[in-house]
């Protein structure tokens, strides 16, 4: 490989501290070897669950104190298909009966009244509404009614919530935001745009970048002497996203439910299709850029070569692992038992984690995703399936990783383009900004909500209410994406100096460890 070598920069810096020529006498490969040797025993994995399209986390993690709930209900219990969830304690209403809370007849299982009330969760530490006097009673919270297993994970201490995270260049208040071009602090550009906000979340740069922060974390732990730390350190179950691309580390795409695709005939020798030369010629053609001098041809051949180099090793590792498949999943919309694509991806992740010793690797970053969160329309129907899939998949993955006795080594977290509008467009929601996220694993300081859960509601001229935490329909984030990711990166074992290099705006925020990970 001719790619530049990246090793643990903190190791190099430590060596450089000797102040002599010594570090330069040590070859970069030796440094990498040293890094690999010291860290071999402490395996860690980060698993990013990307909720593609911008999850309406206003309906995932909710504040249920009466002031919050009143404004939530006002904003969402309207339109042709109201998206307001039912308050805590509301019994489910069967189809054909009338919900006294919603004041309508329930006609489908996609009606929130059919699901019953949101599921209360009690954070370990009391939370107040921002700006509320200290003597106020603590706020109350809940999860979506279709996520009972997430509630159990929260109460078991293996899941935490993180409130109102979004792309920020620096801490930003509403007053500052409203000054727009004269704002004393910069405001991120291209908010509300899927591609750009995905790029911000996945690169760790508000304006996007050529590589992803998942790949760059893997870069930190790459060892020049161990090809696996190049090939199997950043894995994805879908078309490689920006998140997975490192400077040196190449994203590895895993095929859920199956091994790596191998070109079987290349393993054969002798004659093929009546030609003694065909197999050799086939191999040569796959590995040679015949369009010599064309950079696109070079890139294609490099991708083929990567595939040919890794497939057998990956499959051999996979064959030695045992991870049970997910339990049956019933699609609530159809009643049919079917596969849950998120659980299937997480099984492939668990299998890879189970095989980390076979691959001789001690740090891995995974990216899985679930699509369909761009709920402009029919949000109730779409969330019926999506939140059921999340509940089932997270619970399954928690069990699978605990069965491997690796729960303290694996941290799973959600990410998404953005949160959605607080008000409804009739039967759905539109693009917005700050949103709420979940972090799961044995190393999580679970059972609590981190960050600052915002004031809810939109400004109302009639009542005189103004929300200090929102502009129009969008929450102004109080925690930056980079603070969130850096907290995960620090747990992963990345030095503060490397974190500041990977997340260029992190330095604008005083708090670089949000506390949701045990250290």
CB of 415 to another protein, least distance (A): 16
Closer of 165 and 245 to another protein (Cβ):
245
CA 144 to chain centre: 19
Return the number of the residue (152 or 207) whose C-beta is nearest another protein.
207
- Hunting for tokens 């005939």 — which residue is that? 265
Task: Provide the token pair at 466.
Answer: 């103004």
Sign of CA dihedral 191, 193, 194, 197: negative
Nearest Cα to 10, choosing from 186, 219, 197, 188?
219
Q: Is 61 helix (H, G, I), strand (E, B) or coil?
A: strand
Angle in degrees, CA 330, 391, 331, rounded to 5: 20
Q: Is 105 helix (H, G, I), strand (E, B) or coil?
A: strand
The dihedral of CA 65, 91, 80, 61: what is its sign? positive
Nearer to another protein, 147 or 382 (CB): 382
Nearer residue to another protein within complex by CB, 176 or 262: 262
Give min distance, CB of 326 to another protein, in A. 20
**In whole angstroms, how close is the CB of 381 to another protein at the nearest point?**
10
Least gap, CB of 264 to another protein (angstroms): 7
Nearest distance from C-beta of residue 226 to another protein, angstroms: 18
- Copy the structure tokens of residue 492: 């992963």
In the complex with another protein, the residue whose CB is nearer, 138 or 426, is 426
Compare residues 219 and 498 and give the one whose CB is closer to another protein. Answer: 219
Q: Which is nearer to another protein, 141 or 373 (CB)?
A: 373
- Whichever of 136 and 284 has its CB closer to another protein, that residue is 284
Residue number with CB closer to another protein (196 or 482): 196
Shortest distance in whole angstroms from residue 517 CB to another protein: 28
Return the SS3 of 49.
strand
Q: Please report how close the Cβ of residue 461 comes to another protein at its closest, in angstroms.
A: 8
> Can you tell me the distance from the alpha carbon of 278 to that of 272, in angstroms, rounded to the nearest whole number?
6
The first and second tokens of residue 410, run together, are: 């694996």
268 vs 251, 259, 261, 301, 307, CA distance in Å? 28, 19, 16, 21, 17
Extended beta strands in 149-240, E state = 159-166, 234-236
Q: Which residue has the tokens 């879908």?
A: 238
Closest distance to another protein from the beta carbon of 316 (Å): 15
**Residue 191 contacts residue 434 (beta carbons within 8 Å):** no
Tell me how far, at minimum, the Cβ of 86 lies from another protein, in Å.
18
Distance CA 435, CA 418 (A): 6
Nearest approach, Cβ of residue 373 and another protein (Å) = 11
DSSP track, 256-313: TTS-----GGGG--S-BTTBSSHHHHHHHHHHS-SSTT-HHHHHHHHHHHHHHHHHHH
Q: Is 86 helix (H, G, I), strand (E, B) or coil?
A: strand
Quick one: which of 364, 365, 354 has its CA closest to 241? 365
The nearer residue to another protein, 289 or 399, going by C-beta atoms, is 289
Asked if 337 and 205 count as a contact pair (C-beta separation under 8 A), the reply is no
């Amino acid at each position: 490989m001719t790619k530049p070598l990246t090793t643990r920069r903190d190791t190099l810096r430590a060596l450089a501290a000797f102040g002599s020529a010594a570090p330069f006498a040590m070859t970069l490969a030796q440094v990498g070897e040293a890094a690999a040797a010291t860290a071999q025993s402490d395996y860690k994995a980060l698993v990013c669950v990307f909720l593609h399209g911008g999850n309406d986390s206003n309906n995932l993690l909710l504040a249920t104190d009466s002031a919050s709930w009143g404004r939530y209900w006002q904003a969402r219990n309207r339109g042709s298909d109201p998206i307001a969830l039912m308050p805590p304690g509301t019994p489910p209403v069967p189809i054909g009966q009338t919900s006294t809370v919603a004041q309508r007849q329930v006609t489908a299982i996609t009606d929130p009244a059919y699901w019953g009330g949101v599921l209360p969760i009690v954070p370990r530490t009391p939370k107040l509404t921002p700006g509320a006097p200290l003597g106020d009673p603590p706020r109350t919270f809940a999860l979506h009614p279709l996520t009972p297993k997430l509630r159990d994970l929260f109460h078991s201490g293996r899941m935490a919530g993180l409130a109102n995270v979004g792309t920020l260049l620096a801490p930003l208040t509403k007053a500052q935001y409203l000054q727009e071009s004269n704002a004393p602090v910069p405001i991120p550009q291209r908010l509300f745009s899927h591609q750009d906000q995905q790029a911000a979340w996945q690169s760790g740069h508000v304006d996007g970048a050529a590589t992803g922060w998942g790949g760059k974390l893997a870069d930190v732990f790459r060892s020049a002497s161990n090809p696996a730390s190049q090939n199997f350190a950043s894995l994805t179950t879908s078309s490689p996203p920006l998140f997975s691309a490192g400077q040196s580390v190449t994203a590895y795409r895993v095929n859920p439910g199956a091994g790596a695709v191998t070109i079987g005939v290349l393993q054969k020798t002798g004659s093929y299709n009546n030609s003694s030369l065909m197999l050799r010629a086939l191999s040569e053609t796959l590995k040679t850029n015949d369009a010599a001098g064309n950079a696109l041809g070079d890139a294609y051949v490099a991708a083929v070569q990567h595939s040919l180099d890794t497939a057998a090793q990956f499959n051999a590792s996979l064959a030695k692992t045992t991870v049970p498949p997910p339990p049956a999943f019933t699609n609530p919309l159809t009643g049919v038992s079917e596969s849950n694509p998120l659980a299937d991806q997480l099984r492939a992740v668990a299998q890879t984690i189970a095989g980390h010793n076979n691959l001789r690797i001690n740090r891995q970053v995974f990216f899985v995703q679930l699509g369909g969160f761009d709920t402009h329309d029919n949000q109730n129907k779409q969330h019926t399936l999506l939140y059921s899939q999340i509940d089932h998949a997270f619970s399954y993955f928690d069990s699978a990783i605990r069965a491997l006795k690796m729960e303290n080594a694996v941290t799973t977290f959600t990410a998404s383009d953005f949160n959605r509008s607080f008000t409804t467009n009739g039967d759905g929601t539109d693009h917005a900004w700050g949103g709420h996220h979940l972090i799961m694993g044995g190393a999580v300081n679970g059972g609590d909500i981190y960050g600052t859960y915002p004031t809810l509601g939109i400004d109302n001229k009639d009542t005189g209410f103004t929300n200090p935490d929102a502009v129009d329909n969008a929450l102004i984030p109080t925690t930056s994406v980079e603070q969130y990711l850096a907290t995960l990166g620090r747990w992963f074992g990345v030095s503060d100096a490397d974190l500041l290099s990977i997340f260029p705006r992190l330095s604008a925020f005083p708090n670089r460890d949000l506390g949701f990970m045990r250290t």
